[in-house]
Structure 1
């Protein structure tokens, strides 16, 4: 049974605090490389989105009989939603796969700033391959479960009334993936097993889905998605420390953020 625990308000608070944290001078250096990666991905994926959307609409309009032409605007909206969803999802997954070591460093520095205690030390030569392997583990989880979900949604789409639930289920899955993706950085710094992290997130399900949903929404908006990654890493670190592990945050670290 899925427990509905946690507060959905905690996620916006965590992301707001994360946004303020990454603006501090001593943390800006850790967002430069991910930002450059996101810029390159933005131009590549945006060009791909526009190209694929044009091809998709040409195909749909050519397939649609003339007497159903009034459905063109509805198909346009559905196709646009699906492509933007895939765009945001792909943008986040690819950028984090490339920038995983930098995101881990950022999560570590934020934890030190907020708690005064660093995660257990680890040599760089061991940390980089381990974090990349962790990203591949997450990617396999997303793909394997995502394919099963896609099959289920395809079946559901043929059932009247219930087919209206397919966009909601897809959105919840995307939010869940984003919550896992970003809270995994501070969790992995402590070598928390991947299965254990998923259980912790489910124990804070309302906050987790809220956090992931906000990150996914930001990833779907062109230009905004360039800046989402460092803010999401920082906000998810706050969420993991405060809401999942119940660790108190250092008041002295928060004082400059309230001015």
Structure 2
């Protein structure tokens, strides 16, 4: 499988995401959307509760006494960095739990946008979970330097920007994976393909990450991103490659 370079167009990726949002109410997709939405509601509820009670105290702990005079600058930077890191972690957990349903949602979306000739592909749950774990390990290893950077005074002014870019890339890998897995493309090849349309992928992932950071709306962003990713990939590969 090869991606057309038009996939590097951020507007194409953003348009596909918006189209994914518009298809959430499609009757044929409702049963595939409902369970992931419930899972997201539960996981993000836990994340919000933990963050509310523990995050502020943890951030205060990392500000040394001799930098108290810079507290008004450092505290927001710590808060933003740890919020993004923590929220990203809970997003990966939510997607890991909902992964089998997202695969079916992507296949069902393809059957709608591709017409009657597109087939609903059911990927074995074990295979899907294994792929999710590989992505989680890949992202987790690369998140460690950012965590270290986030707690180094002075240098951590760069952390929020780097976390945002990392989150966009992670969400691109996450949501574009489902239609690719349904086409039989595994993680190592997924990574290479998505890198070939890096700017489009970052735009798609960035929009998804931004939506996931919005309370209430984040509950429906994940299934919308799965549908949008399916639409996006259909636009940048040959039609029969995703059937």
* TM-score, with structure 2 as normaliser: 0.85
Distance 2:222 2:181 in 1: 17
Q: CA deviation at 1:85?
A: 0.4
Aligned length: 235
Deviates more, 1:211-220 or 1:167-176: 167-176
Partner of 1:146: 143
The question of 1:86 aligning with 2:92 is answered no
Cα deviations by residue, 1:11-36 (Å, 9 ceiling, x for unpaired): 21011100111111221111111111
Distance 1:113 1:199 in 2: 28
1:128 is matched with which residue: 125, 130, 133? Answer: 125
User: Gaps (5+ residues) in structure 1?
Assistant: 249-259
Runs of 4+ with deviation above 4 angstroms: 119-122, 148-151, 162-166
2:210 is matched with which residue: 217, 227, 237? Answer: 217
Cα deviations by residue, 1:199-237 (Å, 9 ceiling, x for unpaired): 111111111000111111111222221111111111111
What is the SS of the residue equivalent to 1:9? helix
Task: Note the aligned Cα RMSD (angstroms).
Answer: 2.7
Partner of 2:97: 98
Distance 1:163 1:43 in 2: 28
Q: CA deviation at 1:120?
A: 7.4
Partner of 1:118: 118
Contact 1:4 1:206 in 2 (8 A): no
Distance 2:60 2:194 in 1: 42
Partner of 1:252: none
1:9 is matched with which residue: 5, 8, 11? Answer: 11
Q: CA deviation at 1:171?
A: 2.1
